[in-house]
Amino acid sequence: MENSFIVIELKGFTQLAVELSKRMDQIGLTSERVRGAGIEIIEHIFKIVNKKIPFVYKKQIGADTWIIKFNDLEDAIKFGYHVFSLLLKNINENGIFFLKPSIAINTGEPRFKDEKFIDDKSIRTYRVADSGEPFTFYILDDAINYSKQYSWVKIKEIDQDKSIQSINWFDIKDIDVKPLIATKFVLPTLLLDSEIIYSNTPVEAINNILHQQESAHSIFTFGGPVPIDPPYYKKYLKNSIKLIKNKTDCTWVVLSYIPLNEPLLGLTWLELCKRLSVQYPQRFTFAAFLIPEGQLRPFSYHIYNESIVQIGLRSFSPQHGVSIMNAAIMIRNEKIANRFKNEFQENLRKIGPMNDGNYAKITDEIKGVNQYIKKKAFETVDKLLK
């Protein structure tokens, strides 16, 4: 069976978030928080369904669209059915009325570039989901014929277009995977001016960072060099560089510790941040200090808009030989954010912004920096800044 994929689109999600947050400033309810809660619900349901029905990968595009790829059509249809079923259950039991998904399913290999679909089939499938009705499960093209081998799939035609039909998911009864029972999910707790979000994995933590960066007007970042190889960190780097280049209403201040015994990673990060501070001096400030081999590494944190703090939680990684971030806590509280910011600014004042002298001193002291390391680090930075 050919690979299959589904596109899930939340109808009117952005507009609804704006409307729900209007005149709610007194309790700090913003459209970003509404969207964050909606995304948290959707991602939680994906996790529940994924325990029974595996997918190849899941990708979020923008704030209200997901594309999920499967090895075969049967899994894709079952996944969509259970997503609808669990959301409907939560609408009825928990009053989650503002999430209105539409699903379109097709066969093939979706292709992307810069967070956009680039092949005709993916674009067509997205457009069907985007223009579709809430809680409607559309099936397109070859997927229609392939689905006929499953007795439990009931198709109904939509007007005269034979290439776009819909699955009557309400009538699915003989499916071999019993309807899933949703475990209780915990949304960020609103306590007037406070909110806490726990990220269970580094991927979740990075996604929360990306979401906050999009709407921030000031960002303070403390931590070690960002790894280049893991896909989620590469996504973070590319997104951050793009925003630094183009988001003129946001200022960034980065304070980093550089390990003495990681020459390639340390020099790459040092060079990247130095170049950004030279190219965008009004928007990007960078400072760094060395930590010796074997020293306990400080935790990382980000401060957004002087009101939100994301704290990276670490654990020892046998693969890397050091502790790395594997989870995070995001706190929305101005008093807590202000404590972190004051400490950050004091440390920045003591260390001082990066200049040619500091750069040369740190580079000379990092162990193992040679011509090969320099060449590889500079080539990596060149690619990231293209």
What pLDDT does 158 receive?
73
**H/E run at residue 161:** strand 161-167
What pLDDT does 48 receive?
86
At 169, the amino acid letter reads W
CB atoms within 10 A of CB 194: 15
What pLDDT does 192 receive?
37
What pLDDT does 344 receive?
94
CA–CA dist 214, 226 (Å, integer): 19
Domains located in the chain, CATH noted: 4-171 (3.30.70.1230), 195-385 (3.30.870.10)
Is 296 strand, coil or helix? coil
**H/E run at residue 385:** helix 371-385
What pLDDT does 131 receive?
86
The residue length of the chain stands at 386
**N-term to C-term CA, the chain:** 39
Low-confidence ranges of the chain (pLDDT < 50): 177, 179, 181-193
| Burial class, 381, CB count within 10 angstroms (exposed 0-12 / middle 13-18 / buried 19+) | buried
Is 59 strand, coil or helix? strand
Is residue 128 within 8 A of residue 104, CB to CB? The reply is yes
CB atoms within 10 A of CB 238: 13
253: Cβ–Cβ under 8 A, 6 or more apart, which residues? 219, 220, 221, 284, 285, 286, 344, 348
**What is this structure's pTM?**
0.52
What pLDDT does 62 receive?
74
Question: Helices 202-215 and 231-246 meet at what angle, rounded to 10?
Answer: 10
| Ramachandran sector of residue 369 (left: φ over 0; alpha: ψ -120 to 50; beta: rest) | beta
CA–CA dist 32, 200 (Å, integer): 21
Is residue 354 within 8 A of residue 277, CB to CB? The reply is yes
Question: Helices 31-50 and 202-215 meet at what angle, rounded to 10?
Answer: 160
What pLDDT does 97 receive?
72
Q: Cα 85 vs. chain centroid, distance in angstroms?
A: 25
320: Cβ–Cβ under 8 A, 6 or more apart, which residues? none
Is residue 41 within 8 A of residue 187, CB to CB? The reply is yes
What pLDDT does 189 receive?
39
Sign of CA dihedral 335, 196, 212, 34: negative
